[in-house]
Amino acid sequence: MTRKELFKNTLRKSVHAWKLINELPLSDDESLMLRHFMDQPGFLDLHWRMFVPAIKGQGTEEQKQKWLPLANKMQIIGCYAQTELGHGSNVQGLETTATFDPQTDQFILHSPTQTSSKWWPGGLGKVSTHAVIYARLITDGKDHGVHGFIVQLRNMDDHSPLPGITIGDIGVKFGNGAYNSMDNGFLMFDKFCIPRDQMLMRLSKVTREGKYVPSDVPRQLMYGTMVSVRQTIVSNASIAMARAVCIATRYSAVRRQFGSQNGGIETQVIDYKTQQNRLFPLLASAYAFRFVGEWLKWLYTDVTQRLEASDFATLPEAHACTAGLKSMTTSATSDGIEECRKLCGGHGYLWCSGLPELFAVYVPACTYEGDNVVLQLQVARFLMKTVSQLGSGKAPAGTTAYMGRAKHLLQCRSSIRKAEDWLNPAMVLETFEARALRMAVSCANNLSKFENQEQGFSELLADLVEAAIAHCQLIVVSKFIVKLEGEIKGKGVKNQLKNLCYIYALHLIHKHLGDFLSTNSITSEQASLANHQLRSLYTQVRPNAVALVDAFDYTDHYLGSVLGRYDGNVYPKLFEEALKDPLNDTVVPDGYHEYIRPLIKQHLRSARL
């Protein structure tokens, strides 16, 4: 499809989905499922995942009563317009202004520079009638920082932009199809007025007289919508990883190369240890991200209930966990999808493998909802704060509880003696805890050598990100272990999950061996025992690998991959797909008479001469 066709088709699908949700009707969970099967980014994502939650989280009761019924019935369509041409990560650096005019009781929204243009919001370019806009609030010449506002963008009769608003699509993005179904947009305000009651005022307020009343709760609650979406992105990482792994695993069982003596049957590529060493950790990651996603959903629900009761104690941890896990799982999944493409050899590069589009549509997850490095730095700040409070009497809780055992973890030596010890959950956990704590403490020690903490932080950014990743990996491993300790129906299933859990943990040890050795969390002998155990786990997973991806229960239609077909009938179907290509509509291609024939004839003539 052309971009215009793709966009229009996405509108058609979205509206059809909305119709089904209402007519059947579907529950929230079922609607979410429908979104997955629709399988295309579109304006509904931003309306439901960001616009509605922003009003719910930051609006007053009156604002919710006014706007939510309209939004819930989709009588208005909204998006989340925060990022600008000049600033995305640095939210405090946004330039759009919202200046209160006490004469008219309105805010005047303005884009003072080109870099202040809103740039990127999904659904903004062509669809949304409304947006939650983030802008600097100015009253009486004073800048109070960034706040949210509900703004109507387009005329409800003919969809034209309202006077004072310039709006459009930012253009084609990475890949063919992929995220181009979405109208990511730009927007400029030219002294555009909105009534005062359209500032989202649950947190801070502006009175009729123009007095600014600051929030009596943490101002970071304004970032709540991002926290909520980051949490869902972790579960989505598992879905995308599982999809790629399903394709690569099934195809690896079909594909044969080498290994035959005198014309016998060749080896299935899945039997090569190198293939297993690349593939099975990704299979394990798909399961691991699912379990940590379930736990994160619980954490998010818990913090939301606490916030409603004005208990803000766990907010920093919820922010660190959602930011860190969003970052870690999306980076691993993007890399994993690309690895799956390579695991499928040349055919993985074909569009009909399903992997190029999956990669193209998935990879912006490393950037949207917070650049992955910027988010790990938030985790690092949280860790440095926690380390600095050790010994102050305030015991670290939740995912940093292990830091409370700093004395032990800083000096303990791993008691792994034989390969099977690497299947001991306590020993594995302690190894990850020691590594994470030692990396965090080492950063804190290095930081303390700087007179200026912020300067020290800047200098140590790369180390801090590594410490943050180590902490996030510990969370994933620990939540997988907790899952195994819970009720799992069927001994066989439990055994398979156990194998995957230890593959996940041991492959991380192998991948980040430098960290584990340099922090003395393990010795090189213990590292080689871990490798030995890993190989043995691969052998145990091998006979069940295809069943473990079948368990994701993806239909062929959803996978959209010739290589990942359930029936394994890959080669005839590759031919069928090739023959569908428009280039094969004619035997002699368009352009032959114009370019190829004259070229060949010229050679023939010169040959005769």
Ligand X SMILES: CCCCCCCC/C=C\CCCCCCCCCCCC(=O)SCCNC(=O)CCNC(=O)[C@H](O)C(C)(C)COP(=O)(O)OP(=O)(O)OC[C@H]1O[C@@H](n2cnc3c(N)ncnc32)[C@H](O)[C@@H]1OP(=O)(O)O
Ligand Y SMILES: Cc1cc2nc3c(=O)[nH]c(=O)nc-3n(C[C@H](O)[C@H](O)[C@H](O)COP(=O)(O)OP(=O)(O)OC[C@H]3O[C@@H](n4cnc5c(N)ncnc54)[C@H](O)[C@@H]3O)c2cc1C
Query: Which residues of the chain form contacts with ligand Y (CB under 6 A)?
Result: 46, 80-83, 87-89, 120-122, 179, 184, 364, 367-368, 370-371, 373-374, 377, 461
Shortest Cβ 372–ligand Y spacing (Å): 7
Comparing CA positions, the residue from 513, 533, 526 lying closest to residue 417 is 526
Residue 119: burial class (beta carbons within 10 Å; 0-12, 13-18, 19+):
buried
* Residue 560 marked as a ligand binder: no
Shortest Cβ 86–ligand Y spacing (Å): 8
Nearer to ligand Y, 58 or 526 (CB): 58
175 touching ligand X, by CB under 6 A: no
* Binding characters for ligand X, 224-243, by CB under 6 A (x = yes): --xx-x--x---x---x---
Q: How many residues bind ligand X (CB under 6 A)?
A: 34
User: Using CB under 6 A, which residues numbered 80 to 139 contact ligand X?
Assistant: 80, 82-83, 88-92, 122
Candidates 369, 430, 433, 466; catalytic one: 369
Distance of alpha carbon 587 from its chain centroid, rounded?
A: 44
* Residue 122 marked as a ligand binder: yes
Q: Is 485 an active-site residue?
A: no
Q: Residues 6 or more apart from 147 whose CB is under 8 A from it?
A: 98, 134, 135, 136, 137, 199, 200, 204, 222
361 touching ligand X, by CB under 6 A: yes
Greatest CA span in the chain, whole angstroms?
A: 96
Range in contact with ligand X (rule: CB under 6 A) among 34-42, 298-306, 434-442, 466-474 = 34-42
315 interface partner picked from ligand Y, ligand X, none, CB below 5 to 8 A per type? ligand X
Could you tell me if 144 and 201 are in contact, meaning their C-beta atoms sit under 8 angstroms apart? no
Produce one character per residue of 564-582: b if its CB has 16 or more CB atoms within 10 Å, e if not. bbeeeebeebbeeeeeeee
Nearer to ligand X, 120 or 295 (CB): 120
Q: Residues 6 or more apart from 1 whose CB is under 8 A from it?
A: 9, 177
Shortest Cβ 130–ligand Y spacing (Å): 14
378 touching ligand X, by CB under 6 A: yes
Shortest Cβ 239–ligand X spacing (Å): 6
User: Using CB under 6 A, which residues numbered 141 to 170 contact ligand X?
Assistant: none
Whose tokens are 């949700």? That residue is 21
223 touching ligand X, by CB under 6 A: yes
Shortest Cβ 465–ligand Y spacing (Å): 8
The CA–CA distances, whole Å, from 149 to 188, 200, 227, 438, 444 equal: 15, 5, 19, 44, 39
Token pair of 535 as six digits? 């190989």
* Binding characters for ligand X, 314-343, by CB under 6 A (x = yes): -xx--x------------------------
Shortest Cβ 379–ligand X spacing (Å): 9
C-beta neighbour count of 249 within 10 angstroms:
24
Residue-wise DSSP of 485-541: HS--S-HHHHHHHHHHHHHHHHHHHHHTHHHHHHTTSS-HHHHHHHHHHHHHHHHHH
381 interface partner picked from ligand Y, ligand X, none, CB below 5 to 8 A per type? ligand X
Range in contact with ligand X (rule: CB under 6 A) among 247-255, 272-280, 365-373, 483-491 = 365-373
**Alpha-carbon span 454 to 465, nearest angstrom:** 15
Helix, strand or coil, per DSSP, at residue 377 = helix
Could you tell me if 236 and 289 are in contact, meaning their C-beta atoms sit under 8 angstroms apart? no
Q: Please identify which residue in 47, 49, 196, 507 interacts with ligand X, judged by CB under 6 A.
A: 49
Beta bridge partners of 95: none
Binding residues for FAD: 83, 122
Binding residues: 83, 122
Which residues are at the interface with ligand X (CB under 6 A)? 35-36, 39, 45, 49, 80, 82-83, 88-92, 122, 220, 223, 226-227, 229, 232, 236, 240, 315-316, 319, 357-358, 361, 368-370, 374, 378, 381
| Residues belonging to the active site | 369
